[in-house]
A and B are shown apart, each in its own frame.
Chain A
Amino acid sequence: MSAPWRRRAVVAGVATSDYPHLPDFSEHAVHAQAAQRALDDAGLTWADVDGLATTGFFPMYATGVAEYLGLHPTYYDETNAGGASFEVLVEHAAYAIEAGVAEVVLVTYGSVQLSQMGRRLGTGGGGGAAAMAPGPAIYDALWGNTLVGNYALAARRHMHEYGTTPEQLASVAVTMRQHAAHNPMAQYRDPVTVEEVLSSRLVADPLHKLDCCVISDGGAACVVTSAERAADLPSAPVYVLGGAHATSHHLNLSAASDLTVSPAAQSGPLAFERAGVTPDDVDVAQLYDSFTITVVLTVEDLGFCAKGEGGPFVEKGGLALGGKLPTNTDGGGLSACHPGMRGMFLVVEAVRQLRGQAGATQVADARVAVAHGTGGMLSTGATLVLGREAP
């Protein structure tokens, strides 16, 4: 039980930018649109913001975004954990609020990856600058592996140890597309079948094109403040019940001890313990779906099923509306939007579910949600447990 005097961190506002294709936007303009909408949603103004959390691909990134937005924050954070970054940034923001060193932290993300870099980065890139890899990254960089290839190695090992099938992996993509059909902004909305996933071309065995996330433009933002401050604000606050993050390796997949276990196996139990809930208490989940295997590993590692049973779990509709763990109710990175580091979108959709604002994919009476980001080459994991009610 928390002490009665303890400040509680809440998410008071959320928004996405327009997506998935923003040819007329700069990366920073995407930040600005998402941030303005999140502040509007929170009923706050730029003048209320004293903290900024964001990350991108350049050092001093948060400082640059602050400059662009005209902010002069006394709390800033740009922890980069790849796709898991924004769960870490919200966790940190919650600590800052609870410590009393910040009042209103804007967490924002923007990307124009699709417009600027084209469609190559996710599925085909990697390895071109192998010999330039910094420091120890050289050891896995000389072999022509790709980003997809790293996840394919994990998928192959999971298939070997647990009998997971390509059909089971494909079922993740099928369910995400079912959810995307209800999201008017989703990049792809037409239904797909398991057979269509399996007949899409192989990018890196055993992963097909439709086992891979889409590549998009887009951004998202949220506003973290204290429950006291949120009491006067228009939207129902969503409590940050607990968070935790972990890492198993960086760019060298050879340094990961077990490819069938992701860092979620560390961050998940810690986050649930800090939140005072168990996986059984979770009503809805937003799980980073960079690739279909990512979701299978994550549902196992977060304890929604036993290790090795992720394949049957997803194949039997565990992720679908009405299933055991409705997941990625906006269509996820596999169908709706994946601009490179999708973690902020996970928080936005989790908050909308807890507010009852998720539209056609609303999970009835959702009280506890999990947002889990996975970054790098299954390198990082960050779990946020969010709740509708004060702990």
Chain B
Amino acid sequence: MSGDGRPGDMRPLPAVPGERPPKPRPAPVPEPEAAEYWKAARDGRLVVQRCDDCGRHQLYPRARCLACGGPVSWVEASGRAVVYSYTVIRQNYARPFRDWIPYVVALVDLDEGPRVMTNIVGCDPEAVSVGMAVRARFEPVSEEAGIALFEPA
């Protein structure tokens, strides 16, 4: 269990004497081309790459547009998305994840187009469904990075 016990609440439990302290959510070591992406999430914003030539949006961050090879710039995304697929993880021996079980891992399609891996939080795992509308919320994980989680819209 974690947080206040609500499924999807991944705040770490307060330390209990004799127990190992909870492990924090892992933080990325940002690649140079992705620093802006992680930093924006640290600041509570979701950004995506937009092609200067063809206008297509993409994640994860790449050096060029996957569709046409054009140069890309960062633009702010709406944070709105729909669940493409999801699973409820009920077995994972690795910390900190095992402390979260059961938790929802999902692929969500942003309104702008890109698909991202995430956790669905703020609701019972059984309440998640394919096609469900969700919105981003953010969690800082280091000085230079935050991550976007999603919750029911």
Contact = CB atoms under 8 A, between A and B. Distances in A.
A131 B29 contact: yes
10 contacts: A124-B91, A126-B92, A128-B93, A130-B94, A142-B28, A153-B106, A156-B86, A157-B130, A204-B89, A259-B84
Interface residues of B, number: 36
Interface of A: 120, 123-131, 135-136, 138-146, 148-149, 152-154, 156-157, 160, 201-207, 252-255, 259
A136 B60 contact: yes
B84 A139 contact: no
A135 B115 contact: no
Interface in B43-87: 59-60, 84-87
Contacts of B88: 202, 204-205
B49 to A, nearest CB: 13
A145 B106 CA distance: 9
B58 to A, nearest CB: 10
Nearest to A208: B90
Given A135-B31, A254-B107, A254-B115, A149 B87 contact: yes
B130 A142 contact: no
A162 to B, nearest CB: 12
A104 to B, nearest CB: 43
Nearest to B25: A142
A126 B94 CA distance: 7
A139 B60 contact: yes
A145 B117 contact: yes
B144 to A, nearest CB: 12
Contact of B117 (A125, A126, A139, A205): A139
Nearest to B87: A152
Contact of A125 (B31, B86, B94): B94
B85 A153 contact: yes
A259 to B, nearest CB: 6
A123 B106 CA distance: 18
A125 B90 CA distance: 12
B26 interface: yes
Given A144-B103, A156-B130, A259-B84, 8 more contacts: A125-B92, A128-B93, A131-B27, A138-B29, A143-B117, A145-B87, A157-B85, A207-B87
A152 B89 CA distance: 9
Contact of A205 (B90, B92, B131, B147): B90
